[in-house]
Amino acid sequence: MTKLHWKSPGSRLRKFVSTILFALVLVALGLYATGAFRAQRADTHAQPQAGQIPAPKGSAIAERVRVPLIEAAVGTVRSRRTVEVAAQVSARVVRILVEPGQVLKQGDALLELDDRELAARLGQARQVLTAADSAILGAEQSKVQSTARLEQARTHVERMRKLAADQAATTEMLEAAESDYVQAQASVAEAAAMLAVSSAQREQAAAGVHESEIALGYATISAPQDGIVAERRIEVGDLALPGRILFVVLDPAALRLEARVREGLVGSIRAGDTLEIEIPAASALVKGRVTVVLPAAESRSRTFEVRADFDAREGIHVGMFGRLRLQTGEREIVRVPAAAVVRIGQIETILVREGQRWMRRLVTTGIADSEGNVEILSGLAGGETVGISG
């Protein structure tokens, strides 16, 4: 028996709708292929349509250029003339005359120590010198008297010898005269020796006075050079001891960067080379002259210390972080005028002309140079026309 298959009206309707939709899709694909859906190109002299980016005030070409390949060696700004001021004598601090940051001239007083003990030592030394002067005076007088007696004894013995020769004087009288003459010679020699001893004692006493005067002068500690007070390490009432650092005075006008350079690059650096120094905190790029390349590497980091002197500039201070820029080769970059980059928060964009339209493109920027250009790390390949809105 033949089976009859009955189709419901709903099934036939779904099949009809599917056929119609398939036909519409085919028609749409055909129209898209012929360009029917593409927007007509806008006339360059016409006003921008709603939603279209207006043309910028100016434009530039994104250039592909070769620039030096730079490696930075980090370091710290130091003063070329830094002096640690220490005490020369032991005494209590009674007065501090300067504070950190104060500008100094050479010879300006920094602090005063208790000088009573030092003054007493100077007084004692002067008394010893006075006593030595008196001893010299006494020795000189004794020598004068001994010399006079020696002259008298010499005259007497000569007369006795003549009388003895004429048998007018006895032998005993001649012997007595000669004995007096010998004693007078001994007295002169003794007086000369005492004078020499007294003179030596006076020289020693004079040296003691000089040393005491110098020590008393150390009670007032003065600036050894022009500069600025960088540190103060003592308070009133503290005991200043010989060798204890009291102040650090530096010259802020004579600066240098002490950088650590890896061992693979240090061989290309010589004293006298001119290198760029970057101070990020001061937004400064200065020229520095290499003065010292220490011959020994730091054992842990395998880096060498390189010192480069540079002229002081406003905003650069001792202790700041810096970079010594070393050229190791060249690299190719894309750069555009910095004014072409628009920053909104952390997002950086550039207007790029595509045909007759301007489109906004996301980019990533790198290092800016001193000529007003900035490196584009991503977003441009070079040769594009970019807009500058001003």
Using alpha carbons only, how large is the chain's radius of gyration in Å?
Answer: 50
- Whole-number percent of the chain with pLDDT over 90: 48
pLDDT tens for residues 184-210? 888 888 888 988 888 898 899 999 999
Rounded CA-CA distance 65/110 in Å is 57
Confidence of residue 48 (pLDDT cuts 50, 70, 90): very low
Task: Flag whether pLDDT at 43 surpasses 70.
Answer: no
Residue 237 and residue 108 in contact, taking contact as beta carbons nearer than 8 Å = no
Q: How confident is the model at residue 50 (pLDDT cuts 50, 70, 90)?
A: very low
Side-chain half-sphere CA neighbours of 285 within 13 A = 9
Q: Among 327, 329, 259, 325, which residue's Cα sits nearest to residue 298?
A: 259
Question: Mind listing the pLDDT tens digit for each residue in 68-125?
Answer: 888 899 999 999 999 999 999 999 999 999 999 899 999 999 999 999 998 999 999 9
DSSP element (H, E) containing 308: strand 303-311
Report the 10 Å Cβ neighbour count for 246: 20
pLDDT band at 178 (very low <50, low <70, confident <90, very high): confident
Tokens matching residue 339:
């004014």
DSSP 281: G
Of 53-62, 242-251, 290-299, 303-312, the least confident: 53-62
Nearest CA-CA partner of 310 in 73, 79, 124, 67: 79
Q: Read off the pLDDT of each residue in 368-374 and give the average, rounded to a whole number.
A: 85
Q: How confident is the model at residue 3 (pLDDT cuts 50, 70, 90)?
A: very low
**Residue 274, pLDDT above cutoff 80:** yes
pLDDT at 51 over 60: no
Distance CA 375, CA 340 (A): 11
pLDDT tops 80 at residue 27: no
Only one residue has tokens 């540079």, namely: 310
Q: Which residues pair with 46 in a beta bridge?
A: none
Instruction: Report how far residue 149's alpha carbon sits from residue 109's, in angstroms, rounded to the nearest whole number.
Output: 60
Tell me what pLDDT residue 390 has: 62
CA pair distance 137, 193, nearest whole angstrom = 13
Residues 6+ apart with CB under 8 A from 186: none
Q: Which of 190, 191, 176, 73 is nearest to 138 (CA)?
A: 191
pLDDT score of 389 = 77
Mean pLDDT across the stretch 142-155?
A: 88
Strand ranges for 141-253 from DSSP E? 220-222, 227-232, 239-240, 245-250
Asked if residue 285 lies in contact with residue 277, where contact means CB atoms within 8 angstroms, the answer is: yes
Q: Find the mean pLDDT for residues 20-41.
A: 52
Residue 254: strand pairing partners: 311
pLDDT of residue 91: 92
Model pLDDT, residue 18: 67
* CA–CA dist 349, 340 (Å, integer): 8
pLDDT of residue 235: 93
* 277 residue type, one letter: I
Strand partners for 73: 324
Q: What is the pLDDT of residues 312-352, one digit of tens each?
A: 988 999 999 999 999 888 889 999 999 999 999 889 999 99
Taking residues 235-259, report their average pLDDT: 93
pLDDT band at 36 (very low <50, low <70, confident <90, very high): very low
Instruction: Specify the higher pLDDT residue, 50 or 173.
Output: 173
C-alpha to C-alpha distance for 14 and 21, rounded to whole angstroms = 11
